[in-house]
Every structure is written in structure tokens, then in C-alpha cells.
Structure 1
Amino acid sequence: MTICGRRLLIAEDEPILRITMAEALEKEGWVVDVAEDGVKAVRLFEQHLHDVVLTDLLMPRMDGMEVLRRVKALQPETTVVIITAHGTVESAVEAMRQGAADFIAKPFSIVQLLLRLSNVCSFKMLREQNIRLQEQLEERFAFGKILGKSKKMQEVFELIRVVADSDASVLVQGESGTGKELVASAIHFNSPRRTKPYVKVSCASLPESLIESELFGYEKGAFTGATERRIGRFEAASGGTLFLDEIGELPASFQVKLLRVLQERQIERLGSNRSIPVDVRIVSASLRPLEEDIASGRFREDLYFRINTVTINLPPLRERREDIPLLAQRFLEEFSRERGKEVVGFTDTAMEAFDAYPWPGNVRELRNAVERAVLFCRSSHVGVEDLPAALQGQQAAAKPPAARPVRTLREAVEQAEIEAMQAALAATNGRRSEAAELLGVSRKTLWEKLKLYGLG
């Protein structure tokens, strides 16, 4: 069985049941204390502060409800399971309202008891794990984790401070790799909704045929292959924040459905006509100004106003070059620590290459470049020879032409794919559906390639 702690207390006035449970639980690894009434149980608990308490409801001198109240007052995190007879099930349910984790009705077998305790402990461990994960997420996405000393980034920070405490819909706009997802995360984890779900949806990666079922969910039998009910992202995010990344990629046919949901704050699963209330804060992101898509008829103006109470525009890295040394050093420390290498800085020529490069992939490209540099670096400082070929070219441009370095076929193919994708995105002003069409690939394939090369 799953054990959540070390010490367990049994409060039960029936001697045979009390001894039988104690022996079985000791075999499972628990240190067990026993009490024949509530008064003794509370006294033992005050001495040992048990991890789990099993208490009967009806006992001499003090009943199980009072034991529950005393235990929870002394140590709220202790798990309490109520033992009840069939005639007192209603009282056991009331005990759960007051903080008991579960109840088990007499008569029961030891196997049933062990299974019930195992389930309770599994749930407790999962809850504790979720709390730890929540703390880690809050630390990771704390406001101070977004780096930038430039004036433009300081303005972004101020906007995040203002909107985080509200429930306003936020639209984050910026080129690929500028940190839109990080800003969305910072807004959520610094908001009153920080302890509730944070659900991310990449609108560009969802096939058009699956968008509605992914966001709204579906009932069993709603379509071929729907073998069970599944909740959508809106329901999963209820109470928290839903991040709609690349919202400009949503097909026009779905935009009107999304608008209705945002207006009515209700969804209907596919295959159902029952409305389900949802309480979500919407944070959206787009890699190009949505006003352009409105003008061309690709995006609904009424939906734009619904998602755009506040706009945060992220500057490209080339417009805040004073942040490059700060970001590069942070990434260097991160990857040096991960790989166990003692790389402490950059040579002057490497920093000159950083400064001269246009950074079309923005902060994400810088991060990938530093990760590669740490991997290849054989000294205490990253040199220009450790940088990707594109950055080495910034230095080579100032020197007399030299023989072209030999690259592997794989490197040549990768560079050609990167250049082709960048050209297609530039030609379509960042519209990925059209760029994919130009390149002769599906939108999903283009999205995957951009992610692979750190350009997505």
C-alpha cells in the first residue's frame, strides 16, 4: 500500500477490531498507536502529532467528531479517516465537510481498509506534489525572472505589474522568440489566480478539425473515436488563466464560436447542448499586429476588442541590444551549471559578434546560440569559434574573403531550411498558414520545424 508518513493513530473502542487493524498496519510499515476512547486519542496525538488518524465516530468520553476537530486544530495537514457504522453514514459525510479525508463503513475487511488508506495517501501525496510544483512554477515565472534593463523592457515590466492584479484580457504581441509565453506566465503567476490552473494552447499547432474539441471538449459518442467524455482546455482552466498562443492563426470559422464563449462565459462540449459555465482569464499572443489581419479580413474585429483590454508589445532583441550581455551571461551560467563545465564568460570577439548580429530569432535564438557555445567551448571563455556559423559570419564579414569552411550535409540542409522558412515568413508578414503554403508543407510541419530550430 501507499504510505503517507510514518506514524498512525487508531481510536477505536472495539478491542478486537482495534488490535486487528493495528497488527495489519504495522506489517505495512506504520508505527501505530492505539486508543480505546477519544480522550486518550487526543492525548496521544498531542504527544506524537501523527501523520494519519483512524477514528471511530461513536466512542466513550469523546466522540470521533470532537477528535477530528481537536486534531485539525493542532495540525491541519494530518489525514483523518472516519470509521462508521451503517447508521451513522450521514455523520461521516458531515465529518468530511469538516476536514476528514474519507470514511469507511463497518463491517469492512482489512483488505478494504488497506485499499482505502492507500487511496487516501496517494491523493495526499499528489496534492503535496502539486503544491511543490506550484511553488516551483511561481519561482520560475516570478517577475524578476524576465530579464531586461533597457527602457523598452522596463516599460513592459510596468505594464505586467499593472495588469497582473486585474482580470483584464491581455494581448501580448511580438516577433517569434521575444518571450510572449514567458510574459503570459508571469501575468498568471503574479495574479490572484496564481493557485488555479494555467493552461496553454498553441493555436497554430492544432489542426482545424480538432480545434473545437480541444478547446471545448466532447461527450462520449460525439464523433467516431470519441469513446469517452473529455473536458476541453476552457474547462481545464476554469478559475485560472487560459493562454491562447498565436491566436491570429485561428480559422475564421472558429473565431465566431470563440467570441460567443468569451461573451457568455459558457461552453458546450461537442455532442451536448448543455451550457457549462467557465471562469477563465484570457491571455493571448500574436507574432504580428492583429490590426493587419483585421484589415485583410483574416481576424474578426469584435473578437480583437474582446481579447485586447490591454496590449503588451514586446520589442525585438535588435531594438534592445543593451540587454544582450545580461541575457547571454544568464544563459551561460544556466548551461554551464547544467553541463558541469567551468565556462565563466565571453571573449571580446564573441561579444562583438553578438552585438553585430541582427537576431531574427530574438531571445530564443540567443539562448540556443549560448547553449551550443557552452557545448563546444573548451576553455573558460566562449570564443567566436564556438558560436553558430551565422554569428561567426558577423566577424568574417570584416575580414578578407577566405575559403568557405566545409560543413556536414546535415548542417547545410538545416541552414537551408532555416533560410527558406525565414524568407517565407518574411514574404507573408509572419502568417504561418500562408508561409506553409509557399513552402509546400502543412502548417503543423512548419510549426514543428520552427520549434526544432528555435524559431517558433
Structure 2
Amino acid sequence: MARQRAKSAELARLFNSIDRPVYVLDEELVIRFLNEPCREWLGEAAESVVGQRCTYRTSPAGDESRSRPLAEALCPPPSVLSGQVATGIVVAPDGHGGWRRRLARFIPIGPCGEAMPAVVTLVEPGDLSPTDEPLAETRPHGLEPAEPTSDELHERIRRFRRQAAGRYRIDRLLGDSPAMRLARARAELAAAGRANVLVVGPVGSGRRHTAHGIHYASDPPREGTLIPVDCAVLGVELIRSTVHALASNPLGTRAARSTLLLTDVDCLPGEVHSDVAAAISAKSFRLRVVATAAEPLIQLAARGGFSRALAALLSPIVIELPPLADRREDIPLLAQLFLEEINAESTKQRGGFSADALDRLDAYHWPGNLDELALVVAQACEKAEGAEVQAADLPSRLRHAAEAAAHPRREEPSIQLDEFLGRIERELIERALAQAKGNKTKAAVLLGLTRPRLYRRLVQLGLDDGEDY
């Protein structure tokens, strides 16, 4: 024991002699040691992270003040657990509510192929600028992969959440597709004001999550109340009594910061449309209304399926969430986001997805949208044995869908029975007439028909030449 303490003290002296930040994690990714330059870099937060376990995820915006998210910001990629040296970005508070990014090198310590007793992290001395992309620079020169690496996706999620801090916390609006850029802009507009908002999208696209995010993004978010009303489940009388009660302003001054959430408002019974419109139009009604629907209410009203007045009241700001299949370029980022959320609750840490796994995710049609993607990632992480999720770890239905797309079923030509029989009948009559040398009486005998019946069929088939011999 004394020898072990002496060895630890010697290592501490060695690491403290290094002029750049160094920290050490044990085999369970618990932070065990910070050298003096690292303590200076982390500042007041240094003591709080010692003894904290790292998980490979990015913290939601606004959560970074806690010690656990700071430990997450110092976590190495899970590939280190398999003995690989890795490069990544780590962050530390700058003392002014912001963050300082630096490039770090994670070095596993231990015999190759054996249990890893520790990870030594060497942090570069210079801070990165907000526009620096150092992970892209670590690729071999001239090689540009078709997909970003897991570490780059991890950093993009972190940057997205950092930029979203102080505005809104809507993780599932993550994405670079034009539709999601527009959705984010409108969500920011909604979060900054008190106008009514309609969130539109297919089932599983994150409508309810987005609606909650808009409410909780309000400043200050915790002083207002969120009042959910499920229009697809609650009866007419309960909905009517709820909105009338809210119109009487029972929340007092808190009403100006509170939100009425009408989920599945397109399923609202028609007989209560006028009651809801009257209630939210009343001067005494001070709540902001956020509603969710499968399609824009103005379009539904144009077809006679919704009150035009209520549709107008609920639609000052419309946020449209597209199906996941229409924004496939966002799938790698979203899959990485869900994977890192699982990392936060699991002892098993996954770094990302293999190229084959990402290809399979991209090829799937995603009828369940984001909810289905989150479930698929959870199932794959549970099955995966390595630091990276492989295509074989994904549910079998994705493989079956890929195989079906690669070998589409050949369309069998349909047979029109009447048309087919008509062609045969015509051919038989023409043969009989040719054999009878145009004598219709003989042709009728050859066909087993009466002469009048043959005449009728000749007229119907356009074969009657008017001659009768």
C-alpha cells in the first residue's frame, strides 16, 4: 500500500510538472486527478468534477452549471475504452457564463488487449475560436469521408446546444435541412414573444416536445404554468368547462406567463369550436395558446373540417415539422443525439455509428419519425458490444426494408378477362370464315353457332362486310 501511494505521488509530481492541463480518468471514466494547469483552466469548477463519472453526451442548453455536465464535457470518445488513442474537444467555463474549447488527446494506459486501468488526457494550451473545426483537420490529408465522424457529430450537437442556450431548449429541432432551419427560426420567434403558436407535423415528429420547449423557453420559464388539454381524448363538456374557467383568469398575474397547450387540436370536436374561440378571444383570457396538429388548421378549415375563426386565432406562428424521411441529411445528427442521451443513463458508452449502420438508417423509410428513430437507437445500443454501433446491431426490420428496396417486387401484368376472351373469339371467327371461304353459313356450322348468332357477333366485332353468301 505504501509503495502504491509513493507511486501515485510520483505520478502526481510528474503530471504537475507538465505546463499544459492534464487530467486522469480510471477504468470507469471517473475523474481521479487534475494537475495544477488543469485546475487553473477549470477554475472554481475544478474541485466539483473530481470523483465525477464522465458520460459521452452533450448537456442540454442551460444545464452546464452543474458538475455532472462539466464532467461530460471532459469525457473521451468511447473508442478509448477499447485501447485506441483518440482526439476530441473538451470545454471549460470561462468565468463569464460562456465556454472555452480546447483540443485534447486521450491516451489509454495499460497493456494492449488487457483491462484499461486509466486514461491520461493532455489538453492543448490554446483556446479554439468559435469557428474552428479541429476535428476535421485531424483527418488524413485529402481524405474526406462521406459522413462526419462520431466525434464531429458530437461536437456539432454540443455547439448547437450552446448556441441555443438562453433562447429555447428544443433538442429535436436539431438539424441542417432547410425545413429545420425554418422551424428553428420560428421557434425562436415564438419563444421570444407571447403570440399563439401552432406546431404541425406527422405522428412521432416531436410536436408535443416542441410545444413544451416553447413554453419552457419563456423568460422566466418557471413562473408560468403549462396547462395541457388533450383534444383527442377529453370530452366536449370537459374541454368547454376548462376554457371557460381559464377565461375567468384564475391564475392571476401568472396567467401572462402561462400557456394553454391544446394537443391534437385538429381532433377538437366541432361543437366546441365556437366555445374555444370565444374563450381565447375574451379580454380576460391572458394565456398564450400553443397547439399541435397533423396539418395546418387554415388548410383544414378551407376543406370545411375546422372553424375558420378558431384556425386564425391559433395560427399567428406556424412551425411545421417535416417527416424524418424528408430530412435524411439530419439522421446522423439525430441518431448521435439519441445515442448520447442513452449514454447519460447507462454504464455502457457508445461513441457513434459505423458507416454501414448510418447507411442502413438512411435507407429506412421511418414511418414513426423521430420517435421510431429514438427507439431504434435504444435497441441498437442495448445490443451493441463494441464502442460503435454496427449495422448488425440495428433491428431486423431495417435490414428487411433495405433488402426489399434493393430487390423490388416485379409488377405482374394484370389480365383483362373480357378483352382476352374477345381477342380469342375474334381470331376463331376469322379462321372459320377463312376456312369457309367467306361463306357465313358454313362458318356458323364450323363454330357450332346458329347463323343469326354469328351475324350478331360479326356486327359486334366489326367483322361484318355486308356481303351474305
Report the TM-score when normalising by structure 2: 0.47
Larger Rg over CA atoms: 2
Report the TM-score when normalising by structure 1: 0.48
